[in-house]
Amino acid sequence: MFHNRGRWTLLRSSFWLCAVVLACDSAHSATASARKQVRTGLEQHQAGDYAAAAESFAEAQKSLPEEPRVVYDRACALAAAGNREEATDLFQQAAIAREPGLVASSHYNLGCLVAEEARALFGDQPEEADVAAREQGVKLLHQAVMHYRDCLRVDSDHAAARKNLETIRLWIKHMEAVWAQRDREKRRDEMDLLQFLDWIDAEQRTLEAATKALGQIDGSPRQRQAVSRTEDAQRLLADEIDPLQQKLEAALTGDQPADATTAQAVQALNQIAQRAKSAMFRSADELVGRELPSALVAQDEAIDALDEVYRAVAPYEHLLQKATKVEQSLVETTVSIAEDDIDEALVDREAIARDQRYVAGWSESLPARAEQGLAQIEAGSGTHSEIGPPTDEQQKEQQQLQAALKESYEKAIELAPKVTELANGAASDIADEKWDVARPKQEEALKLLQEISPKTPPNENQQDQQGEQNEDKQDQQDNQPDEQQGDEGNQQQDQQRQEKSSEQKQQDLSRQQAEALLSKARQREREYRERQKAQIQAMQGTIQVDRDW
């Protein structure tokens, strides 16, 4: 980070020079006792007895309280003794002196003290630092940089300050890259397939929003800088596709050798994932040339490809929950626009219409998943995963869960096609800015999705535990209607059961899913090329970019 030995050598040299000047220039005004203390402090400092030297300079300061060089020399001794806090206060006092050399040295040593504090915070393995330590350490290093710059403003030829300034700048840049890489690796390890896929999708949507905002930035330097950051982030995200493919293969094949159908499914998913990766890199290339409309088209293609992967691998419960959650958000947005709670001009209509189409796609996948679930129930495949035979209570809970899922599967086969129709219609209406026409379709689609959701009876043991946990809140509950309390409890337990079932089935890709994926992969490959041409034509001219650089 910086050269510690060189710093302390400089401190002793600076002290020595200042003390000599002090002994000559202040001889007539200082008392004999002060001169003696200065000489003693100088000898002690040279011998390495920094604590004693600090005491000697403190005694000299009593006789010469207005002499900043004594303050500076005492700060040097305290810094060498490891007393950073007190040394900092004294260097700050010396930094307001009138002598330029003393001011420059004070700022330099303040920078060294702060950098030393940062180094102690990071320890011997700064790459292992947690987020809090990183933030605090980098903050301290930026303070050191400010002190070095203050030093250079007074003494532009101060070589040590310039060297430390550049060293810190390079160190921060290097460590931020190391930390980012370690965070990416940790995230990949900790997330399962669906979590990782959701994260990539969310990051890509964020970059898409940033790209749209680039056209609104006034001033060429600002835009160039923002474009560069977006491009870098886009390339880093593209690098996450290879780990995604590894997770996909692991989810489909598991520990067993893949049969021919599964191998083909893995290949098809890899092709879709590579299409997302290619689109991401193409978007980054377009950003380099500041071709924002083309970059947005490529980003939209990447999001579409990620959704195709999601539809292929997501289990029934996850698809249903996501469709319900997104549709709820879309309804709230449409209601806000219709009631003038938000300005329609501030709404990303294209993104909303796209999400509405995604809800239609997820709903379209529900019947096939539901048929698979019914087949598993009829075949007698249980959901209990614990070691050993289930207890009577567990068996009862299992039966209740299966009954609720069976009812949900049957409703999905019946109602999901209607949801798909409504969602597609609402998407077309939103694209045409017909919010009032889209709203009833969205509300009806949401109602049907909620009807499809499994309704699991509450578990008695869970009720007892919940009652014990909520004893302290009973007074507040008494103020609510009994019917409302019961509904809320049932909803919480329904959600818990749904999440449990979703986790158990999350990566269970059946042979039927693989076959269905293969039947649609080729068709989607043709369709996305046609969308690409249409989107490029639609986007041309929508974003004006300043080109005066």
pLDDT at 514: 43
**Residue 13 C-beta-side C-alpha neighbours within 13 Å:** 8
Burial class, 428, CB count within 10 angstroms (exposed 0-12 / middle 13-18 / buried 19+):
middle
The residues, ordered by sequence, that sit 6+ positions from 385 with a Cβ below 8 Å of its Cβ are 504
Q: How far apart are CA 10 and CA 293, in angstroms?
A: 56
Nearest Cα to 427, choosing from 356, 364, 531?
356
Q: Which two tokens stand for residue 64?
A: 């010469």
Burial class, 534, CB count within 10 angstroms (exposed 0-12 / middle 13-18 / buried 19+):
exposed
Nearest Cα to 494, choosing from 408, 393, 380, 375?
408
Burial class, 317, CB count within 10 angstroms (exposed 0-12 / middle 13-18 / buried 19+):
buried
Whether 53 contacts 71, CB under 8 Å? no
Q: How far apart are CA 104 and CA 10, in angstroms?
A: 13
Nearest Cα to 368, choosing from 412, 330, 432?
412
Q: How far apart are CA 444 and CA 423, in angstroms?
A: 9
Q: How many other β-carbons are positioned within 10 Å of the β-carbon of residue 515?
A: 13
pLDDT at 63: 67
Look up residue 267 and give its amino acid. Answer: Q
pLDDT at 220: 65
Q: Which two tokens stand for residue 263?
A: 């191998």
Burial class, 218, CB count within 10 angstroms (exposed 0-12 / middle 13-18 / buried 19+):
exposed
- DSSP for 444-466, please give it: HHHHHHHHHS--PPPPHHHHHHH
The residues, ordered by sequence, that sit 6+ positions from 176 with a Cβ below 8 Å of its Cβ are 138
Whether 201 contacts 303, CB under 8 Å? yes
Q: How far apart are CA 87 and CA 78, in angstroms?
A: 5
Q: How far apart are CA 337 and CA 332, in angstroms?
A: 9
Q: Which two tokens stand for residue 446?
A: 């949401």
- What one-character DSSP code corresponds to residue 128? G
Torsion of CA 120, 124, 127, 133, to 10 degrees: -20
Look up residue 192 and give its amino acid. Answer: D
Mean pLDDT per 10-residue interval, the chain, length 549 residues: 36 34 42 68 76 76 73 84 87 87 92 92 91 93 95 93 94 92 89 94 94 75 83 94 93 78 89 96 93 94 96 94 96 87 81 96 95 87 52 77 90 96 96 93 96 72 45 48 48 52 43 46 46 41 30
Q: Which two tokens stand for residue 372?
A: 């698979």
Q: Which two tokens stand for residue 384?
A: 């209990």
Q: How many other β-carbons are positioned within 10 Å of the β-carbon of residue 244?
A: 22
The verdict on pTM exceeding 0.75 is no
- What one-character DSSP code corresponds to residue 472? G
Whether 23 contacts 114, CB under 8 Å? no
pLDDT at 31: 66
pLDDT at 45: 80
